[in-house]
Amino acid sequence: MHPLPHQHPEFQRLELASGVIEYRVGNCTVAKDGSGNLMTKSWLSKVDLVFVAAILLTARLFAPKVVYGFWAVVLAIFIYSKSQRILWESLIVVQSHGFQLETWRGFPNIPLWSSRRFLPLSDFQGILINEGFYGWETRYYLVLAYGTEATGTRLHVVFENILPRLPVLVEIYRELQPSERPSV
């Protein structure tokens, strides 16, 4: 289900099970031609292809067989760095348990690994939308406040790598307000 299908198709609200809702923001942009299609970057740009071709050509022409291992390591590091692209980030709300923040990385359409952080509901203090300045831009971000009197309050930024636009954050914020959240 897309609460904001036309303006922000990169945002999805998924009901996974009873009491489990996932808010997912994809790492893509909307096509500027007005079609509403989502555009993702290719994992290899033209510069990347020239770099790989130069590595292979250099290894083939100038390197003795002993140095092939070095070029294989360079190529492996290059492919690994390209596989670190963020595909999507999620906020999973598990009623009466807490929140899970996920970041999925890999090649386009091929998720390879994820990082997860679970925040228990017992330490939850609140949710807010904050703004920060980056150069000449104002960027908005969703924050979960956590902590106890002993540990103090800590802020966890949701969608910290993608930073979706304000209407997406407002949609999530409204749904997670305690007055509108049944039995959490």
Q: What are phi and psi of 168, to 5 degrees?
A: -70, -45
pLDDT tens profile 94-150: 988 999 999 999 887 788 989 999 999 998 999 999 998 988 889 999 999 998 888
pLDDT at 183: 52
Question: Per-residue pLDDT for 173 more than 90?
Answer: yes
Sign of the dihedral through C-alpha 65, 70, 73, 77: negative
Average pLDDT over residues 78-94: 88
pLDDT at 58: 72
Question: Per-residue pLDDT for 153 more than 70?
Answer: yes
Stretch among 31-40, 63-72, 120-129, 168-177 having the lowest mean pLDDT:
31-40
Indicate left, alpha or beta for 159 from its phi (over 0: left) and psi (-120 to 50: alpha): left
pTM of the predicted model, to two decimals? 0.74
